[in-house]
Amino acid sequence: MDKAIFETAHLAALNDQQRAAVEAVNGPVLLLAVPGSGKTTVLITRLGYMTEVCGIAPEAILTVTYTVAATQEMRARFAARFGGELAARLEFRTINGVAARIIALYSRMYGRTPPELIRNESETTPLLMRLWQDESTVKDLRTAITYIKNMCLADAELDELETDIENLPDLYRGYQKALKAAHKMDYDDQLCFALQILRGAPAVAAAFRKRYKYFCVDESQDTSKVQHEIIRVLAQE
């Protein structure tokens, strides 16, 4: 599409800063704005600009957002602006969705069987209850385990944690041991495993970088350390 036609159709309603963000394609770009100011609109318009004006293949762009509902909303909004055919060629995924694809590719490339993903708390609660008998604080224990994994804490760092949960390091290690024995992983493990693969299996990271030349991250301020590291490793080149 000619740039002048695109400007008339899609940029007329944007202010100067929003237009600058849409047209900033090469190199790292950070968009900072308050809630309700149109960040998602700018991101969607930028995707249209990249594909329609810059001629970037939609398949070369990976857009990451926080929830499945958000990915569906973004795809629908993009389709409404630029058509369903083009929207179908773009990838909108959650960070866990990206992690799942990293693990799947690793499994195919190296002939490994990945741990089974635990998809709801009804499976983890009995396991946690066997380790921690106080039902009223199981939620706190689950939150602490999530924190440990999302902060990428090494085993040696567990004993330095300040927490109200007695014997948290031992409980955490017991939980991980039980998961490993059952050949299962929770959603936080999925992220940690994906990061471990990207760091330890260069062929997997190279395959993702070869396919995706552009990474767009919605609500990036909400990423945890492990999520941010996955994105950073993928986009570092």
Q: What is the mean pLDDT of the chain?
A: 91
- Picking from 76, 77, 165, 163, the residue whose alpha carbon sits closest to that of residue 128 is 165
Place of tokens 């299996």: 201
Q: Where are the alpha helices (DSSP H) in 33-161?
A: 39-48, 68-82, 84-89, 95-110, 121-131, 138-150, 155-158
Chain segment 214-223, per-residue pLDDT in tens: 999 998 888 8
Tens-digit pLDDT profile for residues 124-183: 777 777 777 665 578 888 889 999 999 989 888 998 888 888 888 998 999 899 999 989
Strand partners, 216: 63
Contact yes or no for 91/60 (Cβ under 8 A): no
The model carries a pTM of 0.87
